[in-house]
Structure 1
Amino acid sequence: MLWIPFTLFAAFTQALRNAQQKQLSREVNALGVTLARFIWALPLAVIYLGLLYVAEPEELPQFSGRFVFAVTAAAFAQILATTLMVLLFQRRSYAAGVGLAKSEALLAAVLGSIFFGAALGPIGWLGIVLGSGAVWLMKGRSEPGSLDISTLLLGLGSGLCFALTTLWVRDACHQFSLSFMHTAAWALVWTISIQVVALSGWLALRDRQTLVKLWRRPSLVFRISLSSSIASLCWFTAVNLEDVGLVKTLGQVEVFFTLLLSQHWLKEQVSQREKLGLLLIVISALMVILPAIPA
């Protein structure tokens, strides 16, 4: 049952990171905001991995070709997912942007069942569908023309890429015979290393001004990276312990934290339909976790 507290803490830190990214997106383009979540996350992840080996020594893993492929695919899927979500933030409110991107739970369950051999019971599937419907309900206030097709595609694309990220991370973690903490830490270090090299190299060649803007906001960039590294570590650990569809459905309680931050920190208005969506998400999360609790 360790996957449940890891998932809940991941949801909270991810909501915090997304709120900080929303702030940065007012000044920096989507790729720059995406890089902000990885810059300081890499040294933090390496330090964490080192401390983990000091506290609980394990053998060094063998990195198979399948592991390298999985973490590389996860790294680029997460870059694309984050970039699409930042573009959503620039079009919609913070809560609405996160809500659309949270379509990942249903997508992760479907893809996991088809391609990764994951098995879900009927109650788990019902919880996933209910949670996805709740997120759709919370997509934003229904002014005429507020949800155009391009915005919808951005949200679904972001959710799809986040779902693929977690599925590939789970596959990479299962290539090791180490403890679940060490396995998640190695996957995190590899993934963030690829992301930092790819994004920094691209921006250095094509858009150095964005790097300058990030340099001028060191405190905000560090906070984004810190919350991002904690969230990723918790997600990686949770999906290493339990099926991705279940983890991501319980993780939709992130929307609860999102609404709190949106209303009380970013001073955005929260509609009644968003509050109703929150209630449905709580119900869906209970439907997912109750069957997983041993009698």
Structure 2
Amino acid sequence: MELWVPITVMAALLQCLRTAQQKRLKGQLSTNGVNYARYVYGAPFAAVAFAAYILLSDAVMPAAGGRFLFFCLLGGIAQIVATSFLIIAFTMRNFAAGTTYSKTETVQTAILATVFLAEPITLGGWIAIVIGLAGVLTLSVPKGADGWRSALLGVTDKAALYGLASGGLFGVSAIGIRGASLSLGDGDFIARSLMTLAAVTCLQTVLMTIYMQVTARGEVGQVLRAWRQAAPVGIMSVLGSAGWFTAMTLQNVAYVRALGQVELIFTVAVSRFGFREAPTLRELIGIALVATGVVALLLVR
């Protein structure tokens, strides 16, 4: 088994656990506050992890230039804006359309990787991505016929447009991350991954701190005072990001994102075993499609 596969699965699991922890924080902090906690508590761990790896291993510190900084800024800013657009889509009346179209991220990422990184997807890879997308959409659309109708007929709705933009920007973020890592050359892939992670999260922390100080200054203090509850979010976030960044250093970002859809399976499992919520037939079909897409991706890409 190629190394990027278990790394991606672990990253998806950590992202699922981080999301569950973020939901617990929602009672104490605003949405922006919860997102800010990811960066402000995650960045120090990312920086320490990179420094420790360079000091304790035989790896040479990668040489970074303007190209690296450009891609880090591109990936970091795109991720922040994508998250904001997704939140906006969730708050709109036709949230089903927003949710559904945000899940086109994998397809948009595949197109972007082909165009900007010259990493084309094989026919088998496209088939696997589409199967996985069908499963994700099945799991994402709200229950009932109205959910599908609202999502499909609302393609021109503002929520759908925000969802599409969110998915596209998450794709841009993935391109930025891989571009930054590739710009560091062919050295130790862990050093390249950790350096990219540290740079991106530190830049995001600076940008989000400025934004929070301008728009919601009091929220920064609330995030810092809630460190006992917020720090685990940052730790799980940076651990998950380390997995994503490493996988994207090793493999085409479209394949990484496609395999990362197993997060939806983990989410349903948490609902079933953590909250005693029995999965519906539609959820089981969605899980089967995602699993089929993942297996197909690993076998025929």
Give the TM-score of the pair, scaled to structure 2: 0.87
Match of 1:126 in 2: 127
Pair 1:70 & 2:66 matched: no
Range 245-254 or range 79-88, more displaced: 79-88
Change (3 A) 1:48 1:98: farther
Change (3 A) 1:223 1:190: same
CA contact (8 A) 1:30 1:83 kept: no
Residue identity matched to 2:214: L
- Displacement of 1:270: 4.3
Q: Where does 1:176-187 land on structure 2 (aligned, <5 Å)?
A: 176-177=184-185, 178-187=187-196
Match of 2:54 in 1: 53
Match of 1:114 in 2: 115
CA contact (8 A) 2:177 2:196 kept: yes
Change (3 A) 1:257 1:97: farther
- Displacement of 1:63: 1.8
* CA distance in structure 1 between the partners assigned to 2:83 and 2:272 by the alignment: 22
Match of 1:18 in 2: 19
CA contact (8 A) 1:19 1:262 kept: no
Change (3 A) 1:157 1:265: farther
Pair 1:261 & 2:270 matched: yes
CA contact (8 A) 1:98 1:255 kept: no
SS in 2 for 1:58: coil
Give the TM-score of the pair, scaled to structure 1: 0.89
Pair 1:142 & 2:128 matched: no
* CA distance in structure 2 between the partners assigned to 1:186 and 1:260 by the alignment: 33
Pair 1:239 & 2:248 matched: yes
Residue identity matched to 1:153: L
Range 1-10 or range 142-151, more displaced: 142-151
* CA distance in structure 2 between the partners assigned to 1:150 and 1:268 by the alignment: 32
Change (3 A) 1:98 1:23: farther
- Displacement of 1:160: 1.6
Which string of whole-angstrom CA distances, capped at 9 and with x for unpartnered residues, describes residues 175-215 of structure 1? 11321100000100110111000111221232122223323
Which string of whole-angstrom CA distances, capped at 9 and with x for unpartnered residues, describes residues 121-153 of structure 1? 111110011111221122221363665634433
Match of 1:157 in 2: 165
* CA distance in structure 2 between the partners assigned to 1:31 and 1:269 by the alignment: 32
Match of 2:82 in 1: 81
Residue identity matched to 2:244: W
Match of 2:180 in 1: 172
SS in 1 for 2:39: coil
CA contact (8 A) 1:104 1:160 kept: yes
Change (3 A) 1:173 1:2: same
Pair 1:285 & 2:294 matched: yes
The answer for unaligned runs of 5 or more in structure 2 is none
Which string of whole-angstrom CA distances, capped at 9 and with x for unpartnered residues, describes residues 30-72 of structure 1? 3222211111111101111122113313333222211111000
CA contact (8 A) 2:98 2:164 kept: no
- Displacement of 1:90: 5.9
Range 200-209 or range 263-272, more displaced: 263-272
CA contact (8 A) 1:99 1:255 kept: no
CA contact (8 A) 1:14 1:231 kept: yes
Match of 1:248 in 2: 257
* CA distance in structure 2 between the partners assigned to 1:273 and 1:154 by the alignment: 26
CA contact (8 A) 1:24 1:33 kept: yes
SS in 1 for 2:184: coil
The answer for unaligned runs of 5 or more in structure 1 is none
